[in-house]
Amino acid sequence: MKILIENARLLDPAQKLDQIGSLHIVDGQLLSIDDSSAGFEPDRRIDATGLWAFPGLVDLACRLREPGQTHKASIASETRAAAHAGITSLVCLPDTSPPVDSPAQIELIHRRAQQACGVRVHTLGALTSGLEGRQLSDMAALQRAGAVGLTQALKPMGSHLLLRRALEYAASHDITVMLHPLDHDLAAHGCAHEGAVATRLGLRSIPQAAETAALGVILALVAQTGARVHLCRLSSAGGAEMVARAVADGLPVTADVCAHQLFLTEMDVADFNALCHVMPPLRTLRDRDGLRRAVAQGHIQAICSDHQPHNLDAKLAPFPATEPGISALETLLPLTLRLVEEGVMPLLDAIQRVTSGAASVLNLPCGSLAAGQAADIVLFDPHAVYAPDIENWVSAGRNSPFFGWEFNGRVTHTMVHGQIIYEAQKEN
């Protein structure tokens, strides 16, 4: 199968590429990038005049709710939402029911993903058995079964000594460990940032120190063990500054931030808006700006969705009793590109944080339009207007605080390994 995408604005941060040209695809792989199609006889020709073409998005944090929580969503429903959003590779967390702590669970997810729409699904394995924080999982077996990394998700580790043993083992087997910097004792089952808003609303709060104290322990153990650690979902300016210093000191750490943390603050929970109940909590405007600076300067390598689809009941209780999380696949790209509109960072840098920057965290072979790469490509109309709402939402989780926002641009085509898995015109 030969496909020619012609006259597109080609945007590839990995090659520092921004030019009008064509993409030649043969049997699922990118053959070449140039502005001449002489001698190339495509089976399908796509005129992309006026459109942008960039690598498919890589999302480092997604809950697909399988196994065990299909009343919220499924691998089929959420990969379809990802395809609509231009996401071609997803990394799913192991905090399912039961947790992904065995090769059989990884095989199950991969098998169901192969039966879905075609989005690549990568799996993280549980760092401890059952995510209970008491006994390390069979880390090497999970890696052999296809886990791209290991994590404890938001579950606590039983002790700092157990974390040290996990990192020592990971370092000896070249395993990436993804850790959420959250001190559960300091968090004390809180649901909002410790500040004026939480005090006024009477909400149990989580101090910034719950993140920075945990980071201090993790970074000390990274220095001790040499393990490769990815720090997940930073929420504070202080945390971002600690990561920047650690990188400058040569520690093998990377970091990401949720897209919603770059736009929302504690003020968005001021009316008990349960759609803004997230973990880690939304913090202050100063924290939001600190995170933006860290992303723009490259100290935070990736922007992720932290997608958590919920059923309607999950958000209907009083604020502290609601389940945290946002259905976020479909706003990952619009929010990232809004950073460009607001002057936070250049266009290529923004795309890099959700393509090659994210892929590099786990050494995934994607995120670029270079010749020889798999043809994971997004075509994007920058002139279309996208206003997410219940009617045009694809994810089974309708829990988004961004309904009613208006964004510039929309995905028109999503391609994985040369196969078009979403095409807007055909759906319309």
Residues comprising the chain, all counted? 428
CA dist., res. 87 & res. 99, Å (int): 24
pLDDT of residue 40: 83
Describe the chain by its helix, strand, coil percentages, rounded to 5: 35, 25, 40
299 vs 141: CA distance, rounded Å: 32
**Who contacts 132 (Cβ-Cβ below 8 Å, separation ≥6)?**
155, 158
Which residue range forms the structural domain that includes residue 265? Answer: 55-362
In a domain, 167, yes or no: yes
DSSP 262: G
Say what the pTM is. Answer: 0.97
Known catalytic residue: 249? no
Torsion sign across C-alpha atoms 256, 383, 17, 413: positive
Q: Please report, in tens digits, the pLDDT of each residue of the chain (428 residues total).
A: 899 999 999 999 999 999 999 999 999 999 988 766 667 889 999 999 999 999 999 999 999 999 999 999 999 999 999 999 999 999 999 999 999 999 999 999 999 999 999 999 999 999 999 999 999 999 999 999 999 999 999 999 999 999 999 999 999 999 999 999 999 999 999 999 999 999 999 999 999 999 999 999 999 999 999 999 999 999 999 999 999 999 999 999 999 999 999 999 999 999 999 999 999 999 999 999 999 999 999 999 999 999 999 999 999 999 999 999 999 999 999 999 999 999 999 999 999 999 999 999 999 999 999 999 999 999 999 999 999 999 999 999 999 999 999 999 999 999 999 999 999 976 55
Q: Locate all alpha helices (DSSP H) within 370-421, ordered by sequence.
A: none
In a domain, 46, yes or no: no
Give residue for tokens 């030969």: 2
Residue 258 lies in a domain: yes
123 beta partners: 92
Q: Say which CATH number the domain at 165 has.
A: 3.20.20.140
Catalytic residue among 12, 306, 376, 381: 306
Angstrom distance (rounded) from CA 421 to CA 254: 31
What is the domain count for the chain? 1
Q: Angle between the 160-172 and 209-225 helix axes, to the nearest 10 degrees?
A: 40
Q: Is residue 74 part of a domain?
A: yes
Tell me what pLDDT residue 36 has.
62
Residue with tokens 């039983």: 158
Q: What are phi and psi of 377, to 5 degrees?
A: -135, 145
Q: What is the pLDDT of residue 426?
A: 61
Residue with tokens 């641009």: 409
